[in-house]
Amino acid sequence: MAPRRTALTAVAVGTAIVVLALCLRSGVSSLGVVLHRVQTDLHLSATATGALTTLPALCFAVVGLGTGRAILRFGAHRVTVVLLVTVAAGLAIRAVTDSGAVFLLGTGVAMAGAALGNVVLPPLAKLHFPDHVALVSSLYGAALMGGATLAATTTVPLADALGGWRWGLGFWAVPPVVGALLWLPTILRERTGEPRERRAHTVSLGQLARTRTGQAMLLCFAAQSAQAYVQFGWWGEILTSAGADDAHVGALLGVLAGVGIPVTLSLPALMRLTHGSIVLPVAFAAVTVVGWTGVATAPLALGGWLWAVLLGMGGGAFTWVLAMIPARSRTPDGTSQLSALTQGFGYLGASAATFGAGLLHEATGSWTPAVVVMAVLAVAIAVTGAVVVRSPPVEDQLPR
């Protein structure tokens, strides 16, 4: 049950959730745009640079799996403050170090904090806004995308204006500190509600993994995450190999990310219009398949803009799955553990898909096989999403 609060307090908590989401992708997207400068200044090897690009998804997977138990033990609010401080510390460390190893460590620390944040968002929405989960999910989903886009577009100007890439990267350590401060009043207001929830260790990952809902959620999240990571990891290379210049590639990737924001914000209305049917996961899968088909057959037809829009629309599956986590669980315990299961194993699948796409290209000398595989994998969003829609809450499937 959500704690009692005034309207002003509800706005404050909602703002804190949005700011939390804004902080969870800036460490990834800010590094990508200045990676070549960092690599040169810190003399990073190709192996170390490769590790930097794979750390986010791996941390999201490994750390994410244990986050549910942390939330049950310490409470969602305390975990939130700790993760925001952790993100800030990791981003600050990598901005000041002259060591490639320490830079890698700082990135890992920041990504571990972000992994905690990924999992804690659905339980926070369930705890504070149980009657408005879809709305809050759409807001923090848009904030996740917006934070990534903002960091990607402003880090280079900040670095140039402030005196180097360290300032550009270090700037993003400030928002998590602000976010942590926003949660302190909520912690101070806590009395007995959350401690009771922490003592109820009634749901385990193993139990959830044996339920139909848990399995479908995990597979659906893995399928849609694979789409996102392959798109941002390899689509630029596909376009470049087709003859696009860097500016055009950047513009298309910007459209890909930007389209997802209005789709995400419209999600509550779309969920009401479709009445909880399978329409949304099927639609997300369909536009993704069409987008990949266009990339495979004519990547730069119409400048590639249509494929960017379609793939961006398909990215709405990300927020839809996140919204279904609290929708398919009855209790904060169930929501926390379902979020950990879904995102932990889901991001592991995304890592495998991204790595596999690169291997397939290297083995065949063409991007077409990898694109075809991704189009086929997109169908899984429809299939598993339909199962999610038609499945009962996970607590109803646990042994009694």
- Per residue in 24-34, pLDDT (tens digit) is 988 888 887 78
- 395 neighbors 266 (Cβ within 8 angstroms): no
Q: pLDDT digits over 193-204, tens only?
A: 444 444 445 677
Q: What is the mean pLDDT of residues 234-242?
A: 81
Instruction: Select from 400, 398, 1 the least CA-distant residue to 196.
Output: 1
Is 80 exceeded by the pLDDT of residue 66?
A: yes
Give all domains of the chain, ordered by start, each with its CATH number.
Answer: 1-201 (1.20.1250.20), 203-395 (1.20.1250.20)
Is 90 exceeded by the pLDDT of residue 252?
A: no
Residue 40's pLDDT is what?
86
194 to each of 74, 205, 325, 327, how far by Cα in Å? Answer: 9, 20, 20, 20
Is 70 exceeded by the pLDDT of residue 70?
A: yes
d(CA 38, CA 80) in angstroms, rounded, equals: 29
Highest-confidence range of 64-73, 96-105, 188-197, by mean pLDDT? 96-105
Q: Which residue has the higher pLDDT, 234 or 293?
A: 293
What average pLDDT does the structure give for the chain? 86
| Model confidence band, residue 36 (pLDDT cutoffs 50, 70, 90) | confident
Q: pLDDT digits over 99-124, tens only?
A: 999 999 999 999 999 999 999 998 89
What percent of the chain has pLDDT above 70?
Answer: 95
Cα 316–chain centre separation: 12
Q: What is the mean pLDDT of residues 123-136?
A: 87
Residue 111's pLDDT is what?
93
Highest-confidence range of 63-67, 255-259, 387-391, by mean pLDDT? 387-391
Instruction: Give the chain's end-to-end CA distance (angstroms, integer).
Output: 22
Residue 290's pLDDT is what?
96
Residue 1's pLDDT is what?
43
Q: What is the mean pLDDT of residues 181-199?
A: 67
Cα 160–chain centre separation: 28
Is 60 exceeded by the pLDDT of residue 216?
A: yes
What percent of the chain has pLDDT above 90?
Answer: 38
Q: pLDDT digits over 320-351, tens only?
A: 999 899 889 888 788 888 989 998 888 888 88
- 330 neighbors 320 (Cβ within 8 angstroms): no
Residue 195's pLDDT is what?
43
d(CA 3, CA 129) in angstroms, rounded, equals: 9
146 to each of 21, 78, 298, how far by Cα in Å? Answer: 9, 25, 29
Residue 99's pLDDT is what?
92
d(CA 290, CA 44) in angstroms, rounded, equals: 39
Collect all residues with Cβ–Cβ distance below 8 Å to 117 and sequence separation of at least 6. 20, 21, 23, 24, 80, 83, 84, 87
Q: What is the mean pLDDT of residues 363-390?
A: 93
367 to each of 96, 259, 356, 373, how far by Cα in Å? Answer: 38, 24, 12, 10
Q: What is the mean pLDDT of residues 225-238?
A: 82
Q: pLDDT digits over 16-25, tens only?
A: 999 999 999 8
Cα 215–chain centre separation: 19
- 71 neighbors 123 (Cβ within 8 angstroms): yes
Give the residue ranges of DSSP H helices in the chain: 7-22, 26-41, 46-74, 76-96, 100-128, 133-162, 165-170, 174-189, 193-199, 205-209, 212-241, 246-265, 267-274, 279-297, 305-314, 317-327, 332-364, 368-390
- 165 neighbors 34 (Cβ within 8 angstroms): yes
What does R_g of the chain's alpha carbons equal in angstroms?
20
Residue 68's pLDDT is what?
82
Q: What is the mean pLDDT of residues 66-95?
A: 91
Q: Kindly report the pTM of this predicted structure.
A: 0.82
**Cα dihedral 397, 17, 151, 61 sign:** negative
Residue 377's pLDDT is what?
93
Q: pLDDT digits over 92-105, tens only?
A: 999 999 999 999 99
- 211 neighbors 337 (Cβ within 8 angstroms): no
Read off the amino acid at residue 395.
E
Token output for 175: 């928002």
d(CA 358, CA 367) in angstroms, rounded, equals: 9
